[in-house]
Chain A
Amino acid sequence: MRLRWLKNLNPAVKSIIVFTLVVILFVFYIPLAEFIGPPLLSFFAPFFQLAADVSVSARTMLQFHNLTAGNQQLTNEIANLNAQLVHMQEILRENDRLRSLWSLPDRSDFSLQVALVIAADSSNWTDTITIDKGTNNAIKKGAACILENALVGMIIEAHSSSSKVALLTDINAKVPAMIQRTREEGLVSGGVEGRRGICKMKYLRDVEVGDKVISSSLGGMYPKGLLIGEVTAVVDEKSDTQFKTVEVRPTVELHALEEVMVIIGP
């Protein structure tokens, strides 16, 4: 056999050869991974889609007993929301009338692209999801992802037919935000607590439990005014500087996402 000489080598020499190969592998790995990774991820997208379908079916079966109660609750909610909708439509018409009276320009909505979540993060460290839309659908790196006007995360990798989204709870997530009541600005970050679906916001002076947190346009990363979450607890309060660190629970249940909307234009 051609590799017989390898088997007869001294174990120490074998270990040195393996170690050298591992070092060489690491040196060339990063550029190679960046080159091969994106097309491979697009290639695997249908497999992810299939596995995601199985996963959703499994979850549905596990939660079957909750579906009847959930259905009743949703029916009641729809009735309430319909009543609210009529009221909102009245306000919208009034707003339009007032805008025309004051000659204000129309406020444009975002252009959105709906995408299905096909995979969650395979690691326990980071908190990302993979969606089934990419650059073919005008999605670009850095675009914000929302669900029902609440912020979900940001596109960190955009490939032809799939993209990766870093959620608000990701270990490296830093979202410029403000407290809606006081307009005080800060950064919402993920971290280890992100695993439990909780974010943190630091260096705040005037903040209370129950305050709404919204995105700020600082840094130009996210559109202003998107709902991020609600302050659920003050976890640290420095008496000398009066700075507070608070826990923010995201509005969207990030670990049960099935679809998101990507902002692809103004």
Chain B
Amino acid sequence: MKVRLFVLFILALGFVLAQSTLVRVVTLFGVKPDIVVILVMFISLWYGRINAALIGLFCGFFVEITSGLPAGAALGPYVLGGLILAHLASVVWYTQWYTQRVGGQMLIAFLFTFTIYLFQFFLLRPAAIELSLLSALVGIILPVSLYTAGVSPLLFYLLNTIAAPLR
């Protein structure tokens, strides 16, 4: 349990640090891929509900202290999204499809990022007065989801290697 907590903590910290420094280099049209969402998705798909909740907790907290997001706006979607995805992964039988196929990984990455960002939009909406659903969809949610889906196979491969201690 202690090793698991430590590995999840270090993974979350490493990914948030990379997101706020290295990923800045690959910004396209003001949008960068969300590698933290990929980490939450990976852990949720492969390592069950408890790990999903823990990684959502760590990632959400670190993202909030390194961004301008209000408290709960990252942690809430990450924890709930991770839990729902982990539950779906445990009841759906065609797990092999998305673990072995790049297309499946990209599709799930797109859908998961889209859902997380849509959830965040509804949490941010009361605070950001001028944020309309259409402009958020076109300007942020869809581009980020596509970009994140595009880089997901590479990160899945990387995570498969470094998250081995959790198995």
Q: Within the assembled complex, what's the spacing in Å between the Cα atoms of A128 and B18?
A: 16
* Chain A interface mostly: helix
Min C-beta distance of A258 to chain B, whole Å:
11
Q: Interface readout for A37-79 with B: 1 if CB under 8 Å, 0 if not?
A: 1001100100110011011001100100000000000000000
Min C-beta distance of B75 to chain A, whole Å:
7
Q: Are A51 and B71 closer than 8 Å at their CB atoms?
A: no
Q: Within the assembled complex, what's the spacing in Å between the Cα atoms of A62 and B67?
A: 26
Q: Are B32 and A124 closer than 8 Å at their CB atoms?
A: yes
Name the residue on B nearest A21 (C-beta). Answer: B53
Residue A161, interface by CB 8 Å: no
Q: Are A123 and B63 closer than 8 Å at their CB atoms?
A: yes
Residue A164, interface by CB 8 Å: yes
Q: Within the assembled complex, what's the spacing in Å between the Cα atoms of A156 and B67?
A: 11
Q: Which of B21, B75, B80 contacts A119 (CB 8 A)?
A: B21
Q: Are B75 and A29 closer than 8 Å at their CB atoms?
A: yes
Q: Are A58 and B32 closer than 8 Å at their CB atoms?
A: no
Residue A125, interface by CB 8 Å: yes
Q: How many A-B pairs fall under 8 Å by CB?
A: 135
Q: Are B74 and A123 closer than 8 Å at their CB atoms?
A: yes
CB-CB under 8 A from A40, the residues of chain B are 65
Cβ < 8 Å to B, chain A residues 122-151 = 122-128, 130
Residues of A within 8 A of B (CB-CB), count: 48
Q: Which of A120, A123, A125 contacts B21 (CB 8 A)?
A: A120
Q: Which of B63, B72, B127, B135 contacts A30 (CB 8 A)?
A: B72
Residue B158, interface by CB 8 Å: no
Interface centre among A29, A44, A62, A189 (most CB of B within 10 A): A29
Residue A230, interface by CB 8 Å: no
Residue B76, interface by CB 8 Å: yes
Min C-beta distance of A38 to chain B, whole Å:
8
CB-CB under 8 A from A22, the residues of chain B are 53, 79-80, 83
14 contacts between A and B (CB under 8 A): A22-B80, A44-B17, A48-B21, A51-B21, A120-B24, A121-B68, A122-B67, A124-B31, A124-B34, A125-B73, A128-B68, A156-B68, A172-B128, A189-B130
Which B residues fall within an 8 A CB radius of A?
13, 16-22, 24-25, 27, 29-32, 34, 36, 49, 53, 57, 61-69, 71-76, 79-80, 83, 117, 120, 124, 127-128, 130-131, 135-136, 138-140, 144
* Ranked 8 nearest A-B pairs via Cβ: A126-B68, A195-B30, A192-B139, A51-B21, A123-B67, A122-B20, A128-B68, A119-B20
Which A residues fall within an 8 A CB radius of B?
18, 22, 25-26, 29-30, 33-34, 37, 40-41, 44, 47-48, 51-52, 54-55, 58-59, 62, 118-128, 130, 156, 164, 166, 170-172, 189, 191-197, 255
Known: A121-B66, A122-B19. 7 other contacts (CB 8 A): A26-B72, A37-B64, A62-B25, A120-B24, A126-B68, A192-B140, A195-B30
